[in-house]
Structure 1
Amino acid sequence: MKIIVIGATGTIGKAVVEQLGQRHEIITVGSSSGQHQVKIEDPASVRALFEKTGKVDAVVVTAGNLHFGPLDDMSFEQFRVGLESKLMGQVHVALIAREYLNDGGSITLTSGILSDQPIRNGASASAVNRAVEGFVLGAAIEMPRGQRINVVNPTLLTESQEAYGPYFRGFETASAARVALAYSRSVEGAETGKSYRVW
């Protein structure tokens, strides 16, 4: 298969590229690195990316920014970071990718454990992650030409514990390599509308 991985140089993205790259042709995409660059917040940038890559068999998104901070101090602008990046950025990719996805192809997005298990300073992240999962649930029944769409919902990465551990006291972690298996299941499997929780 020919697979685009957006966010390919991030911690999860690298593991996904390593996992799927053993069997498939991978096109690496990042905001400032990779074979191609894209700003997922900008639909025109997303469309330009697919114009360059042409038809593909699968699209994986492991990109998207979030704001963490106390709800009492959170501004509308800070809350919108996750809405415009992790939520709408992934929606932009999914909606545009359908036109460039081969029959039976798949799209895999990324949410996170805060969709179900809230933490202090994570109200925006909880809202965004749950919204991504809601989008996938609804979109799956309307995907054209046998296309599939799923979402991977990982816990805190073991590799990210030093940076984000203080937010996630008491949470078990998962290695990026283990999380990457869920992306493999989504891309190489047959299910649609699923949320693969790696907790």
Structure 2
Amino acid sequence: MKIIVVGAEGDIGKAVCEELGARHDIVTAGRSSGEVRVDMADRTSVEAMYARTGQVDAVVSTAGNVHFGPLADYTQDTFMLGLENKVMGQVNLVLAGLGTVTEGGSFTLTSGVLDRDPIRMGTGAATANGALGGFVVGAAIEMPRGLRVNVVSPGLLDVSVPRYGAWFPGHEPVSSGKVGRAYAKSVEGAITGQVIIVE
């Protein structure tokens, strides 16, 4: 399969590329790195990415920015960062890719643990994660040409602990290998409309 991985240079993206790259042709994409540059929040940029890559069998997104901060300091703008980038950015990948992904292909998005196991200052991420879950459940029943869509919701990755562990007190890290296999389940399997929890 030919698979686009958006956000391939991040911790989750690297786990995905390690798992799927052993068996498939990976095209890396990102806002500031990768073989193809793309700003997910800009629909025109997403369309340009697909024009450059041509037909693909699957799209995996492991990207998306959100704001972290105390709830009392949140504004509409800080909430919109996650909604425009992490949510609509990944939705754009699906909507713009409906005609580019081959029949029976798939989209795999990324949410995260915080909508089911919250942390202080993570309300923006929790909101975005919940929205992505709702999107794949709703979109799955309307996907054309046998296309599938799922979202992987991983906990804190083991390799991310040195940078982010202090934000996640008491959270049990998950192995990068286990996270990579969750994406393989979505891409290589047959499920659709699922939130694939990795914990």
When normalised by structure 2's length, the TM-score is: 0.98
The answer for the alignment partner of 2:38 in structure 1 is: 38
C-alpha distance in 2 between matches for 1:71 and 1:163: 22
Q: Does 1:161 align with 2:161?
A: yes
Deviations 1:164-198 (A, max 9, x none): 21221011111222201100000000110111100
State the partner residue of 2:14.
14
Matched, 1:89 2:82: no
Distance 1:181 1:28 in 2: 18
CA distance in 2, matches of 1:65, 1:177: 23
1:114-153 matched pairs, under 5 angstroms: 114-153=114-153
3-state DSSP of counterpart to 1:103? strand
2:196 is matched with 196
Q: In the alignment, which residue of structure 1 is the partner of 2:47?
A: 47
Alignment of 1:112 onto 2:112: yes
> In angstroms, what is the RMSD of aligned CA positions?
0.8
Aligned pairs, how many? 199
Give the Å deviation of 1:51: 0.5
Task: Report the Cα offset of residue 76 of structure 1.
Answer: 2.0
Name the SS for the 1:128 alignment partner.
Answer: helix
**Correspondence 1:55-74 to 2 at 5 A:** 55-74=55-74
3-state DSSP class of the match of 1:99? coil
Moved over 6 A (4+): none
Q: In 2, distance between residues paired with 1:12 and 1:168? A: 17
SS of the equivalent of 2:197 reads strand
Instruction: Give the letter aligned to residue 25 of structure 1.
Output: D
Whole-angstrom CA distance in 2 between matches of 1:163 and 1:94:
30
Q: In 2, Cα distance between the equivalents of 1:166 and 1:22?
A: 33
Once the two structures are superposed, residues 83-129 of structure 1 have per-residue CA deviations (whole angstroms, 9 ceiling, x without a partner) of 11100100111111111010000000000111211221111111100
1:27 alignment partner, SS class: strand
Q: Distance in 2 between matches of 1:63 and 1:104?
A: 23
Q: Which amino acid aligns with 2:189?
A: G
Decide which moves more: 135-144 or 67-76.
67-76
Alignment-derived partner of residue 99 in structure 1:
99
Match of 1:3 in 2: 3
